[in-house]
Amino acid sequence: MHYGADPLAEDDFGRTPLDMATGKTQEFLQRYFLCIILIERWLNSVLLIPGKSTN
């Protein structure tokens, strides 16, 4: 879930907002992506979705 612009969107050159961000914006996006990854791993391990790795 996100609010506003899609953080995974790419421009015509394949750059994401994280690629172009600097300073506090870059720090925020790095934390955002880390949280998403950790939540996804936790959900996969708790729900034990068939075909998904629990690593």
Q: Which residues neighbour 28 within 8 Å (Cβ) at sequence distance 6 or greater?
A: none
Angle at CA of residue 48, ends 38 and 8, nearest 5°: 40
Q: What is the pLDDT along the chain (55 residues), one digit of tens a residue?
A: 556 667 678 889 988 888 888 899 889 888 888 888 888 888 888 887 666 565 5
Residue 55 DSSP class: -
Q: Domain residue spans in the chain?
A: 21-48
pLDDT for 2 equals 53
pLDDT for 36 equals 87
pLDDT for 3 equals 61
